[in-house]
């Protein structure tokens, strides 16, 4: 992520038409029973285990700051007018703070990585329901894409699902 930040920031600095360009990132690597992750922006990592969906990453956004301050609820994040304002993004500044961590995982855990095209429009309950009702990872992705289309989401969406 740091390398990508340097490359994007350098390119933006040399091409005026790219001014303001940036992106979000969430990455994972599995080694044995450990899930290593890193994130910047509002793309998310979730772990689904035993019927519970747990968000691992914390968004770097205005609405996350409002939620943390107790000014809005999690449900209000989905419709807030500032939901797309990021406080941290890859490629915007020369230096970048990247959140990272390690989670213990178990056989059968489901890992979901997604952009805000999903989690910015579809509730955690709908996401959990898709994971609960489908054992096939591709069917989960298809179900979640249908949910995105059903709410008329107006953003790009990337969804990756894997089962440990």
Task: Band the pLDDT of 25: cuts 50, 70, 90.
Answer: very high
Residue-range domain boundaries for the chain: 2-163
Tell me the whole-structure pTM to 2 decimals.
0.91
pLDDT reading at 96 higher than 80: yes
The tens digit of pLDDT for each residue in 124-144 reads 999 999 999 999 999 999 999
For domain 2-163, the CATH class is alpha beta
pLDDT reading at 114 higher than 90: yes
Amino acid 77: pLDDT: 84
Mean pLDDT (whole number) for 44-73:
95
SS3 for the chain, per residue?
A: CHHHHHHHHHHHHHCHHHCCCCECEEEEEEECCEEEEEEECCCEEEEEECCEEEECCCCCEHHHHHHHCCCCCHHHHCCCCCCCCECCCECCCCCCCCEEEEEECCCCCEEEEECHHHHCCCCHHHHHHHHHHCCCHHHHHHHHHHHHHHHCCCCCCCEEEEEC
Mean pLDDT (whole number) for 18-34:
94
């Amino acid at each position: 992520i740091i390398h990508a930040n340097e490359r994007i920031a350098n390119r933006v600095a040399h091409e005026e038409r790219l001014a303001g360009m940036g992106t979000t990132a969430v990455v994972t690597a599995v080694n044995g029973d450990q899930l290593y992750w890193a994130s910047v922006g509002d793309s998310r990592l979730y772990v689904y285990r035993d019927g519970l969906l747990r968000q691992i990453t914390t968004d770097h956004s205005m609405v996350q700051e409002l939620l943390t301050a107790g000014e809005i609820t999690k449900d209000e994040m989905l419709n807030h007018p500032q939901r797309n304002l990021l406080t941290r993004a890859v490629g915007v500044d020369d230096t970048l703070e990247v959140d990272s961590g390690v989670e213990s995982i178990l056989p059968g855990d489901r890992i979901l990585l997604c952009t805000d095209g999903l989690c910015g429009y579809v509730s955690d309950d709908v996401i959990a329901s898709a994971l609960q009702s489908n054992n096939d990872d591709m069917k989960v992705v298809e179900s979640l894409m249908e949910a995105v289309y059903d709410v008329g989401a107006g953003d790009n969406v990337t969804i990756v699902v894997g089962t440990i």
